[in-house]
Amino acid sequence: MNIIMMGAQGTGKGTVAGLLKQGLGLPHISTGEIFRKNIQENTELGKMAKQYADEGKLVPDEVTNEMVKQRLNEEDCVNGFILDGYPRNTNQAETLDNILAEKNTQIDLVVNLNTPQDEIIERVMARRECPKCKRVYNMILKKPKEGEICDDCKVALTKRADDTEEKLQTRLDTFFKETTPVIEYYRNKGIVRDEEISISINRFGEDVARDIINSIENK
């Protein structure tokens, strides 16, 4: 099964994708995470991506599409995958369709997460990451057991470089301008599942993931 996670920054795509990975046994492919790893390791791809990621802008499509194509050719994707953070514009969505058509497969499900905008800003500002194991915490929603220390690695958590109010605004602007048409692209194919995810209605990533897994298993 091939799944795409859609939703603005901070809606919980990564959390839901991680739970779907456990429940469905599919690889979780986060393009943001691949770029961050390359930036940290100072690879050629990382050096190129850094200038865009630092400003909260999208990395050029040729680079991103090629990177995704290579990742989807890896062996762990033969039974499907969960894409998180890709596609981010209609060019990427069309390219993905072509990549999958060559493999005689297609996207089966697009999970579209919606969170009120004021909550998005709060969630992103409260996000912390373990620099070692990359586990993501949230100082409001998913606190570590002690202070700002990773439960597993016992190292101080850090904030993502692009999780500042200014950069978040640029990223959200790009999301509403370039990425919302992608949701419509998939809506026209009848494969979008809309999900509200918000403290105000007491609905969290765990609830969304559980419902998706149940509906897939009961099909």
CB–CB of 100/107 below 8 Å?
Answer: yes
Q: Does the protein bind ligand AMP through residue 85 (CB under 6 A)?
A: yes
CB–CB of 197/204 below 8 Å?
Answer: yes
Pick one of 3, 16, 26, 59: the residue that binds ligand AMP (CB under 6 A): 59
Beta strand pairing status for 127-129 and 136-138? antiparallel
CA angle 84, 99, 34 (to 5 degrees): 35
Residue nearest to ligand AMP (CB): 32
- By CB under 6 A, the residues from 141 to 200 that bind ligand AMP are 162, 171
Closer to ligand AMP by Cβ: residue 86 or 212: 86
160 is a catalytic site residue: yes
- In the set 88, 123, 128, 167, the catalytic residue is 88
Which residues partner with 136 through β-bridges? 129
DSSP secondary structure, 94-123, as one string: HHHHHHHHHTT----EEEEEE--HHHHHHH
Q: Does the protein bind ligand AMP through residue 9 (CB under 6 A)?
A: yes
CB–CB of 183/190 below 8 Å?
Answer: no
- By CB under 6 A, the residues from 14 to 53 that bind ligand AMP are 31-32, 35, 52-53
CA Rg value for the chain? 17
- In the set 37, 143, 160, 210, the catalytic residue is 160
Q: Does the protein bind ligand AMP through residue 72 (CB under 6 A)?
A: no
CB–CB of 25/129 below 8 Å?
Answer: no
- In the set 21, 36, 127, 167, the catalytic residue is 127
Q: How far is CA 195 from CA 16, 71, 81, 163, in A?
A: 11, 27, 20, 24
Cα distance between residue 134 and residue 151, in whole Å:
12
The nearest distance, CB 53 to ligand AMP, in angstroms, is: 4
- By CB under 6 A, the residues from 115 to 144 that bind ligand AMP are none
Piece of 40-48, 71-79, 80-88, 140-148 that binds ligand AMP (CB under 6 A): 80-88
Pick one of 88, 123, 127, 128: the residue that binds ligand AMP (CB under 6 A): 88
- In the set 50, 128, 167, 171, the catalytic residue is 171
Half-sphere exposure in the Cβ direction for 77 (13 Å, CA): 20
Q: How far is CA 163 from CA 11, 128, 159, in A?
A: 14, 9, 7
88 is a catalytic site residue: yes
- In the set 13, 21, 36, 50, the catalytic residue is 13
171 is a catalytic site residue: yes
Judged by the rule CB under 6 A, the positions of this chain that interact with ligand AMP are 9, 31-32, 35, 52-53, 56-59, 64, 85-86, 88, 92, 162, 171
Which active-site residues does the annotation give?
A: 13, 88, 127, 160, 171
